[in-house]
Structure 1
Amino acid sequence: MDKKLSIVIITGMSGAGKTVAIQSFEDMGYFTVDNMPPTLIEKFVDLLSTQDSNQENKIDKLAMVVDMRSRVFFEHLRSIITELTDMPTIDFKLVFLDANDLELVARYKETRRSHPLAIDGRVLDGITMEREILTDLKNLSDLVIDTSELTPRNLRSQILQNFSTQTTNTFRIEVMSFGFKYGLPLDADLVFDVRFLPNPYYLPELRNQNGTNEAVYHYVMDNEASEAFYTNLTAMLKPIIPAYQKEGKSVLTIAFGCTGGQHRSVAFAERLSKELGKDWHVNVSHRDKDRRKETVNRS
């Protein structure tokens, strides 16, 4: 029996946290669409339903934000919800995000944005009108979350509690190596400079190898300074990684840099990824490992 297509529609009051919610679903592996016009939902669901069951990147989890930004299309949402609920091949859930008027007004003042129903009027008037329009949908919802007193982290936690599965890993660590001569990685959270260590580049037999090579790896690691640095580094990282996860971070990127990103940084990235991989979901990548070789070949 084919697995049901899981579909979640997120709606609710403007300013109640739908952006945080859709990001949370994306972190759980859902295919996400923000500001989906209700009139296109049926066509999109039909497209997903005709996927080949053996397709490698088959989409089986979909989360959509549908709200008052859709304006004239929004009135179609009620009938679409009824259709999705009645379809036996779909596991459908409607999530409604709410907050009290005082908190919504404060959030709009903080962001200085216009309410979608009160572009030329008072924010509170738009909130009042929207609440009246959405009353019926709120009563239909499978899950109502009041975000008045919730931080973004708390909201993510509630969504994870209700929708994550045992097979869903919502936190991962990316360990990467790079060369300072090619620039810092823009997405790194933690950057460590290992240029203080002896450089294998100056040994002819190791120059054209990289840190994944056993000889290069041991040249870098079988060094008193390397071992001291690595020991202190892991002693620092292991206690703080859970704090990143608790704060709601989905990806933690740890980068090691050396001059060219070929030897020392690669060796350290390889070693740390294996160590952290014992307790966490870890990916390792080497941005500039083959950069010098490619430059030489082109010339």
Structure 2
Amino acid sequence: MSSERAASDLVTEKPQESELLIVTGLSGAGRTTTSHALEDHGWYVVENLPPQMLVTLADLVARNPHSIPRLAVVVDVRSKHLFDSIRESLNSLTAAGVTYRVLFLEAAENVLVRRFEQGRRPHPLQGSGRISEGIAAERELLQEIRSRADVVLDTTNFNVHDLNREITQLFSDHGPIVLRLNIMSFGFKYGLPNDANFVADVRFVPNPHWVPELRPFTGQDPQVSEFVLEAQGTQQFIEHYVAALEPVLEGYRRENKHYATLAVGCTGGKHRSVAIAEELAHRLSSLPSVKITVAHRDLGRE
């Protein structure tokens, strides 16, 4: 990675007003991956915005900073005529008192050529010429905005995961990637959740449904929760399951997988799965950089 300013200068204390980040750079250097990474960290991303619209959009966000506190605008040279006005647009932002940062992505020519060839698509500026000619034309066109960039990232030696990690370090609130784990209870008789990454079958636990005084309650009620969690084998299952999940979730974070769903199922999704899902959420919430949400899909069904 190369940087025109120290990265630590850019990620210290966040300003109170809306943040505006302009993402640009050479085609094939990773703008799409960067956009997705920024979205994962709460940025509102607008892609392929004509530079003439920068001031208008920045003004709109500035009027209501709480609605879009972090705006990233991706600007490319798909339309060379429109991009010619980038200098005036940036000067207008400065004149209007808008604080912004510019992230510029670049890579070595041979790497860019290989990426275009692997993707079997032409460079946007090559016309009837070669890919290398399009890259050279783009470098010349982008020279000025590169000189004004706050951060220049050279992605020559980056894969998708490397670039994700770099964007995380520069532009997320908390640095390391947070995995969002949704723990969902469900009833097998209503079908498996389509988006489940893991499915835990807890029908081995005695069913409170067959205990008349517990039947009207749910796994969120203490009397049912105690019955389920104190049943033979439940605690052993939970302890082993949490231990098995820890390296998996850590691996997900390393591989930049940001979302996962753990489905916990019993027969009807009312008693056992609800109680055990709540307990798993409690145990897993102590893991670093994992954000837990809990949903009970079939709670309330007859």
- Give me the TM-score of the superposition, normalised by structure 1: 0.85
Selected match of 2:87 from 66, 73, 78: 78
TM superposition shift of 1:213: 1.7
Q: 2:299 aligns with which of 289, 293, 297?
A: 289
Q: 5+ unaligned residues in a row in structure 2: which ranges?
A: 1-14
2:61 pairs, out of 48, 55, 71, with 48
- The DSSP-based 3-state class of the residue aligned with 1:254 is strand
Matched, 1:6 2:19: yes
2:223 to 199, 215, 221: 215
Give the alignment partner of residue 181 of structure 1, picking from 171, 181, 189. 189
1:129 aligns with 2:163: no
Aligned partner of 1:18 in structure 2 is 31
Q: Residue 51 of structure 2 corresponds to which residue in structure 1?
A: 38
Q: Which amino acid aligns with 1:253?
A: T
Do the aligned residues in 2 keep the contact of 1:36 with 1:70 (CA within 8 Å)?
Answer: no
Alignment of 1:250 onto 2:263: no
Distance 1:5 1:151 in 2: 30
Give the Cα separation in 1 of the matches to 2:147 and 2:253: 34
Alignment correspondent of 1:296: none
SS in 2 for 1:184: coil
Question: Matched residue of 2:68: which SS?
Answer: coil
**Shift, 1:71, TM fit:** 4.5
Equivalent residue of 1:206, what SS? coil
Distance 1:7 1:195, change over 3 A: same
Stretch moving more, 159-168 or 127-136: 159-168
Structure 1 residue 25 displacement after superposition: 1.5
| Residue ranges of structure 1 left out of the alignment (5+ in a row) | 294-299
Cα distance, 1:262 vs structure 2: 2.2
2:8 — aligned with what? none
Letter in 2 for 1:289: L
Q: TM-score, normalised by structure 2?
A: 0.84
Amino acid in structure 2 at the alignment position of 1:35: N
Task: Give the equivalent residue in structure 1 for 2:203.
Answer: 195
Identical counterparts, % of pairs = 40
Distance 2:213 2:131 in 1: 70
Q: Classify the secondary structure of the residue corresponding to 2:84.
A: helix
Which contiguous aligned blocks of 4+ residues in structure 1 show a shift greater than 6 angstroms? Answer: none
User: Which structure 2 residues correspond to residues 64-143 of structure 1 after superposition, within 5 A?
Assistant: 64-88=73-97, 90-118=98-126, 121-143=129-151
When residues 257 and 73 of structure 1 are mapped into structure 2, their CA distance, relative to the original with a 3 A threshold, is: farther
Partner of 1:248, secondary structure, is coil
- Mean alpha-carbon deviation: is it higher for 251-260 or for 9-18? 251-260
> Retained in 2: the 8 A contact 1:35–1:70?
no
**Greater shift in the superposed pair: 192-201 or 14-23:** 192-201
- Once the two structures are overlaid, the 10-residue window that deviates more, 10-19 or 208-217, is 208-217
1:204-283 map, 5 Å = 204-279=212-287, 280-283=290-293
Q: Report the AA paired with residue 68 of structure 2.
A: I
More helix by share: 1
- Describe the superposition over 1:191-215 as per-residue Cα deviations: whole angstroms up to 9, x where unpaired: 2222333333333443443221222
Q: Is the 8 A contact 1:99 1:148 kept in 2?
A: yes
| Secondary structure of the corresponding residue to residue 45 of structure 2 | strand
Distance of aligned partners of 1:95 and 1:178 in 2 relative to their CA distance in 1, 3 Å threshold: same
CA distance in 2, matches of 1:201, 1:220: 11
- Quote the Cα distance in structure 1 between the aligned partners of 2:160 and 2:150: 21
Question: Aligned pair in 2 of structure 1 residues 205, 112: CA closer, same or farther (>3 Å)?
Answer: farther
Q: Which amino acid aligns with 2:251?
A: A
Cα deviation, residue 169, structure 1: 7.0
Instruction: Give the drift of 1:45.
Output: 1.4
2:294 is aligned with what amino acid?
A: V
Provide the residue aligned with 2:168 in structure 1: 160
CA distance in structure 1 between the aligned counterparts of 2:67 and 2:50, rounded to whole angstroms: 23
Determine if contact 1:174/1:283 at 8 Å carries over to the other structure: yes
**RMSD of equivalent CA atoms:** 2.4
1:224-283 per-residue CA deviation (whole Å, 9 max, x = no partner) reads 222221111011122332222222222333221223322222112100111122344322
